[in-house]
Each structure stands twice: as structure tokens, then as C-alpha cells.
Structure 1
Amino acid sequence: MPTEKIIIITGANKGIGYATVKRIALTYGKPLVQDETHEDRLLIYLTARNPEKGTKALNKLLGDADLERSGVLSQDQGTVEIAFHQLDITSPSSIAQFTAFLREKHPGGIDVLINNAGVYPLGSGIKPLNLALSTNYHGTLNLTKALLPLLYLRPSGTARIVNVASTFGKFSRFPPNISKRLFAAITIDEITALMDEARRARVDRKTCKMGWNQSAYAISKAGVIAMSRALAGDPDVKSKGMLVNACCPGWTRTDMTFWMGRRSAEEACGTVVLLALGDVEGRTGLFWKDCRVCEL
């Protein structure tokens, strides 16, 4: 019997997350043949905060013409299964429930975590920054911490974490006094301290003008990139050969960009899929765009 490869994708009921589920299914899935050299079966968990929207997205994928023609979801010969599970990354109880479900259902661990869920709050006050940090940074970090033990269970060199970030969060876009500290931060605690400093600066205009006057989205995504680098360098993560990378999907036509992006979600998810499934030659702790390593 083939073994099972398990991928988790957050915020996957629409946009880039939804496109990633479909692309991974098409990329990975090949109809099984009648011999002993089957590929591992792939189980993709499409997660979303809203159960109704998540179930609707799952049903849409199950009826997708491209997936239907490919045969990858066929119950008889397909190599891919897509399932939905509710998950709100801003809710500790939701993360705990999802983690407990995975532990019970998949005691052998999971293979890939794609942290795609995020928000793009408008405005320059403290409320947009609180929302951006609680979702994009702390939500991503808290889920990752919860699922790391399950990723550790996989054979050395096989598990991966892909964090969807943005070029808005590139360190070079920040003033030198901030970018140097982002580059220098090598632990999660140091990065969290920087995010907390940005939050405090938001209520002090003088401090904010000295370096933390970027958009809430940019600050939170800088945190995601820095967190990815720190996690990749963590001794436990390194000892397991786990690959942790951040990427920018590009300016994409989704509701987050008010449909003003330059590329479709289907075009934008290519780098995410590469980092999840492709041969990246063992590279980790890097920032990617257009399937290439990008300078920070």
C-alpha cells in the first residue's frame, strides 16, 4: 500500500490559497498504475476560518473540470485527496483543536505546512497594525509552533514550511536603523520584540517617524520573513533537515488587492508550489519570488 503525504494550506478557500490547492493536486497527482511502484498518496487539508466558505471551496474543487480530467481525485486510481478542516489562526482554541485532530488522525506526522492565511488592513493607526500582527505574524507563528512536533515526526530532510509573505516586507524597504536589526535578529524572541516595538511606536508619532512608519501589512510581513529565517536556523529544525522558506506570490488579482493585481492567483501560486514540492536543492531560510531567491 502507498504511504500518505500530508499538506496543510491555511486560508485556502479563495485566492492564492485555493489556487495552490488545485496546482499542488495537479502537480503531484498521477493516476496509479497496476504495479508495485506507486507514489505516496497525497492528502491536502484545505483550511479556512469560515466553515461554510471552506466547504463551498472544497466542493468547487471536487467538481473542477481540470482536476476531473486529470483523474488525480479518482477514488479508484487517483493519488490525491482534498479535505476541509476549519481553522482560524488568530484563535488559540481553533489552533489547539486542529492540532489535536491531526495528532489523532495522523500520528505519524505531517509533511508540509503552507502558511497562506493573512489580512491586508487599510489605515495607518494602531488598529490596522494590531490586526495585521495578530493574524499575519502571531497567527502564523502560533500555528507553526503548534504543528512543529508533527513535522518533526517525518523522516529527516522531508518536512517543509512555506510562509507566504510579500516584497513589501523586504528588509531593504525599511530605514537602515530598522533593516539592520531585522537582518540581525536570529531568534523568534528577538523578532517578536521588534514587532512589539513597532506596535508601541504606532502610538508615538516621533518614534514612528524614526523607522516604523511603514504600512501595517509591510511590518507584519517583514516579521514573517524574519521569523522564517530564524526558524530555519533553529538547531532542532536544522537537525531534522526541515526546509523553511518565505516567498512573495506577487501583486495578484484577489479580493485582498481589490482585484487590481497584475497576475492571476493561478499564476501567483507557482513559487508556493515549488517550495512545497519542488527541488530547491536544500536551500532554506531564504526569501523567494518568481521561483528564484530574492535579495532582502
Structure 2
Amino acid sequence: MTAYARVGVCTGSNKGIGLAIVRQLALQYPRSPLNSGPLLIYLTARNEERGQAALESIKLDPQLKRAKALRLHGGLTDVKYLPLDIDSKQSIEEFAAKIKQEHPDGIDFLINNAAIAMDGFNENVAKKTLHCNYFGTLEVTQQLLPHIKDGGRLVNVASLAGQLGSRYSSSIRSRFLHAKSPEEISQLMEEFSTAVSKGTHQRDWPSAAYAVSKAGVIGMTKTIAEQSAQKGRKVLINSCCPGYVKTDMTKGGGVKTPDQGAQTPVLLAIGNIKGNGQFWSNEKISSWE
């Protein structure tokens, strides 16, 4: 078995921004300050067929071939597929167990990119969106953060839609901004869900499940970074917005290509950065408020 100097995971990486993140990691790793030898990236997807097809597209990618990025071209990076559905606790537990079994000494970075964007807005949309985007991301984070090596990175992909702005009541904004634990953010997510089902959310919240789920991801990432630093862990933990990217999720809207959208997540995973518990967009620290 190949000995890898670095190991990374990108969730939801069979298409769109996730697949572009895997490509850009392979392209940029040789110039990364973290480059200390061969890199293994786990490309994950819920669906085996789509995951394997994405892996094949990486192996046949002409740009990667020209750059000699992959080990099969004499480069530094290997990419492997593993199944992961962040909507399923069992799937997350099986994935985490597999990673720990394969890499008992730990991994170097985790990019939580998997998410959904549903049409419409009602109680069902709110519940499903939060279950995947917020609670699924939180579960993967809690399962794998203890397994990230000191000096490693955790990147949670959020969105500028998760900025608090004026769409939240001052009390909800204040609770987001002053939360000290992920449990406090989870409580806010539960309250939003309950308010939507009762039809009372307009007093405090926007009518936008995706935006609220991403506000939750930004807030949760901030609290986990603070807790981790207090425990003396040397892992850089940040969230980011990839930008408005042309993907299936934006139904072909968007102004950035997936490769452009991948730049900030890749910078946070393997670039030369300072900052912990921050929200980034366009490759710099951005305001959450």
C-alpha cells in the first residue's frame, strides 16, 4: 500500500463545486506549503455509480494529465472514491470508521461541501434542508474533527446567503453572534424549524431554508473553532462561500465557473492562511454580519 504524506476528504464531490475542489486540490497541491509528499484525496458521493463516474472523469481529465498532477501521470496525487450520504447518520458513521481504519494516524484536511438546495418553502423543505445542510455537516464534523492531525484544516462550505443581514430579528442575530457552542446554534435551527411548522417564523426569520441552514453552518463552524482552540488543538477551522457558481444547484445561473468557485475552499484546505473560526469569500475573510 502506498504511504501518503497527506490525506484529505471532500464530501459531495461527484459534480459541481465538489468535483472542481478535487481537481484544484490535485493541481495546486505541488505548490502548497503543506506539500510534503504524496497526497490522497477521498472523493465522496451518495451514489456509487455517480461517484465512480466522477473518479473516472478525474483520471481522464486533460488538464490534470497535462499538469502531471496525478500519480498515474507521475504526479503527487491519488484520488479514491468512498460512499458517503451526509443525510444518513449510519452512512456518516460507516464512512468515519473506514477513514479511521485506513488512516489510524489521522487525516490532514476535511472539506464539508455536500449540501442540497430545494425548490419552494414550507415545513418539509425547512426540515429536509436543515437535516442535510446543517445537521449532516455538523455530524461529519463531530465524527472526523478529532481525527484531523494537528496542523490540519477543516473547511465547511457555506454561502453568502448565510450572512445575517437585516432579515433576522435582533434577538436571533445576537444569539447567532454570541453563541459559544454548536449546541446553541443547533437550538436556533430547531427553533426555526418549529416556527416554520407553526407559521410564525416571519417575526424572526427569513422565509429561506437554504439561507438559514448556511447561517447555521457559519455559526457552528465559529463555535467549534473556538472550542477546539480552547482545548489546545492546532487545527484551522473556517467556513466559506464559493461564490455564485454555475452548477446544477443554481440551475445554470451563477457568474463563476466551478473551478473559480473551488478557489476559496482549496485555499482554506491547503493554502498559506491565517485565521481561525472565520467566514471567507473571494479568497479573503468576509463579514458574517
Normalised by the length of structure 2, the TM-score is 0.94
CA apart distance, 1:169: 0.7
- Give the count of matched residue pairs: 283
CA distance in 1, matches of 2:80, 2:30: 15
1:98-177 paired onto structure 2 within 5 Å? 98-151=95-148, 154=149, 156=150, 158-175=151-168, 176-177=170-171
C-alpha distance 64-179 of structure 1, shift in aligned 2 (>3 A): same
1:71 maps to what in 2?
A: 68
SS at match of 2:197: coil
SS at match of 2:79: strand
CA distance in 1, matches of 2:12, 2:228: 29
Cα distance per residue 1:14-60 (max 9 Å; x no partner)? 00000000001000147xxxxxxx83211000000111000000001
2:186 maps to what in 1?
A: 192
SS at match of 2:287: coil
CA apart distance, 1:235: 4.2
SS at match of 2:44: strand
1:13 maps to what in 2?
A: 14
SS at match of 1:256: coil
1:1-296 paired onto structure 2 within 5 Å? 3-29=4-30, 39-75=36-72, 77-151=74-148, 154=149, 156=150, 158-175=151-168, 176-205=170-199, 207-235=200-228, 239-281=232-274, 283-296=275-288
Q: Contact 1:245–1:286 (CA<8 Å) still a contact in 2? A: yes
Q: Contact 2:145–2:154 (CA<8 Å) still a contact in 1? A: no
The answer to which of 180-189 and 67-76 deviates more is 67-76
Identity %: 39
The answer to which of 66-75 and 172-181 deviates more is 172-181
Q: Contact 1:9–1:21 (CA<8 Å) still a contact in 2? A: yes
CA distance in 1, matches of 2:132, 2:60: 31
CA apart distance, 1:123: 1.5
1:34 maps to what in 2?
A: none
Q: Give the alignment's Cα RMSD to 1 decimal.
A: 1.7
Q: Contact 1:251–1:262 (CA<8 Å) still a contact in 2? A: yes
SS at match of 1:71: coil
CA distance in 1, matches of 2:228, 2:155: 18
Q: Contact 2:65–2:73 (CA<8 Å) still a contact in 1? A: no
Q: Contact 1:231–1:237 (CA<8 Å) still a contact in 2? A: no
Cα distance per residue 1:261-291 (max 9 Å; x no partner)? 111111111101110011112x110110000
Post-superposition, which runs of at least 4 consecutive aligned residues in structure 1 deviate over 6 A?
none
- Structure 1 gaps, min length 5: 31-37
C-alpha distance 197-14 of structure 1, shift in aligned 2 (>3 A): same
Normalised by the length of structure 1, the TM-score is 0.92
